[in-house]
Structure 1
Amino acid sequence: MPSIELQIENGVAKITLNRPETFNSFNREMALLLQKTLEECSANPEVRAIILTGSGKAFCAGQDLKEVTSPELNPGFRKILEEHYNPIIERIRAIEKPIIAAVNGVAAGAGANIALACDIVVASEAASFIQAFSKIGLIPDSAGTFFLPRLIGFQKASALMMLGDKVSAKEAEQLGMLYKVFSVETFQEEVIALGKQLAQMPTKALGLTKRLLNQSLTHTLEEQLAMESELQIEAAESEDYAEGVNAFIEKRKPAFKGK
């Protein structure tokens, strides 16, 4: 079975990490295939929203330790970071389409941080998050030290990374780590509904919003205001804006195309 599954329906691409026997932990094949799949979704005009989730009981348990402890298979940490995880994070942030991390189960190590790099994080009540790196003498990677402090604050992030505490989905929601928690029974239905909702929105503007949010992490106030002005003008010239205004005046539901 492929380690990454892709389904496209109603403008939504559902990418599933598919190594359930290893709790969807990453080996080189899966990491490179996820990058390729993200690129395909980025280039496909039919895809207007992306869902990233896991098969089986886990979202992603991070790195497959069997790979890094195998003399024959171990690519080495430099390759793992520079060719596997860093490009995945860069692609997630660069794709100007909304990406939902649908955390169905445990998200540990790099798996947790890949989820946190997505635009909207939702979780099943059965999900949990753990910065597992300190348990084996490593440091958080996959942009965990970048995103987690910004999401929940420096002190909480520092404690979770150093202590390696497991955080339940409800605790993660309370901390501000994610958007919403759904029941186990309704999780899949709610995720698909959210994906469809985003795909029917003015995704041109959502992509520009994502670009602004990326830049806000390093911009000064003046730089951010200037960029907002520039991108608002671009948004105002879009077909979606014209459709949105006409629909409002005509008191009907807009039919956005992401253009």
Structure 2
Amino acid sequence: MSAPPVLTSVQDGIGTITLNRPEARNALNQAMRPALAAAIAQMRDDAQVHAVILTGAGGAFCSGGDISAMLDTSRTGLAFRKGMRELHQWFPELVNLEKPVIAAVDGPAFGAGLSLALAADFVLATRRAKFCAVFGRIGLIPDLGAMHLLPRIVGQQKAKELVFTARTVDAEEAKQLGMVFDIVDDATALTEAALALARRFGEASTAAIGMAKTIMNQSFESDARTIAELESYAQSVCRGSAYHQEAVQRFKDKQPMRFDWDKSK
């Protein structure tokens, strides 16, 4: 019996999604796609999960699409279109997941793997991590949201240069470009850093973080007035929660945050 293509776990309020095709450097194949969609839905629906770590098994994050499957000439253009539409149905769920998402990248994040990393709120990388919009090397264009996310992170000119040349970016340059939040030495340190960052969100209101994330994600498509209106609605919800009153009192008493799920509603 083959191993599942995607593994999930939840411990102490931190959910982990692990791409689990190490023999293929976690290339995204047909079996992995619905499994990844189900994993994202699991993390979305679990009220006890306050942060999500997305990573890959076996020293690779994700090497992109499954190249061997691309050699199959029996699929029609309509079949490809159907597959892409299925991908693009669940990918926005990851981008807009109302919880902090941390991509822990060791090794390659190429092609679709780059898109998955960019979908996270924070990207942590080892020194051996590599990023590449590799699509141009095989006559394709970036997909899985890359052409929406990349220009917003690195700017239009740099995004075009990375896409047109399909060159590889190391961790240091990726950090300079704003693609990477922080760099660590190795895989062990990567796991520790991802967990430490996830724990920082553990005593904050996940509802407030989720609404703030949603509004910030909308800021590139909306004008200032619309964002202000969204802020006012979201703030009204936050102010109306019992948790807010307790949190204010704890702040006044110089006590640490302590998130209470029951009072957050």
Check if 1:112 corresponds to 2:114.
yes
Distance in 2 (CA, whole Å) between partners of 1:62 and 1:169 is: 17
What is the CA distance between 1:73 and its match in structure 2? 8.3
Q: Deviations for 1:222-249, whole angstroms, at most 9, x for unmatched residues?
A: 1111111111121222233223211111
Q: Deviations for 1:196-229, whole angstroms, at most 9, x for unmatched residues?
A: 2223322111100111012212111111111111
Check if 1:251 corresponds to 2:258.
no
Q: Answer with 30-39 or 210-219: which moved more.
A: 210-219
Structure 2 unaligned blocks of 5 or more: none
Q: Deviations for 1:28-58, whole angstroms, at most 9, x for unmatched residues?
A: 1101100011101111112111110001121
Distance in 1 (CA, whole Å) between partners of 2:110 and 2:90 is: 16
Letter in 1 for 2:126: S
Q: State how 1:1-259 maps to structure 2 within 5 Å.
A: 1-70=3-72, 76-84=79-87, 86-184=88-186, 185-258=188-261, 259=264
Q: Deviations for 1:175-207, whole angstroms, at most 9, x for unmatched residues?
A: 111211122151111111111222332211110
Determine what percentage of the aligned residue pairs are the same residue: 35
Q: Answer with 34-43 or 246-255: which moved more.
A: 246-255
Aligned length: 258
Distance in 2 (CA, whole Å) between partners of 1:70 and 1:172 is: 33
Letter in 2 for 1:212: I
2:7 and 2:17 in contact (8 A); partners too? yes
- Secondary structure of the 1:224 match is helix
1:68 and 1:76 in contact (8 A); partners too? no
- Secondary structure of the 2:64 match is coil
- TM-score normalized by the length of structure 1: 0.94
Q: Deviations for 1:142-186, whole angstroms, at most 9, x for unmatched residues?
A: 111111111111111000000011001111000111211122151
1:243 and 1:255 in contact (8 A); partners too? no
Distance in 2 (CA, whole Å) between partners of 1:242 and 1:132 is: 50
Distance in 1 (CA, whole Å) between partners of 2:138 and 2:219 is: 34
Letter in 2 for 1:2: P
Distance in 1 (CA, whole Å) between partners of 2:164 and 2:232 is: 41
Letter in 2 for 1:132: V
Distance in 2 (CA, whole Å) between partners of 1:238 and 1:106 is: 43
Structure 1 unaligned blocks of 5 or more: none
- TM-score normalized by the length of structure 2: 0.92
Distance in 1 (CA, whole Å) between partners of 2:91 and 2:171 is: 22
1:243 and 1:254 in contact (8 A); partners too? no
2:203 and 2:257 in contact (8 A); partners too? no
What is the CA distance between 1:257 and its match in structure 2? 3.0
- Secondary structure of the 2:228 match is helix
2:134 and 2:163 in contact (8 A); partners too? yes
- Secondary structure of the 2:158 match is helix
Distance in 2 (CA, whole Å) between partners of 1:133 and 1:174 is: 22
CA change 1:58–1:73 in 2 (3 A) is farther
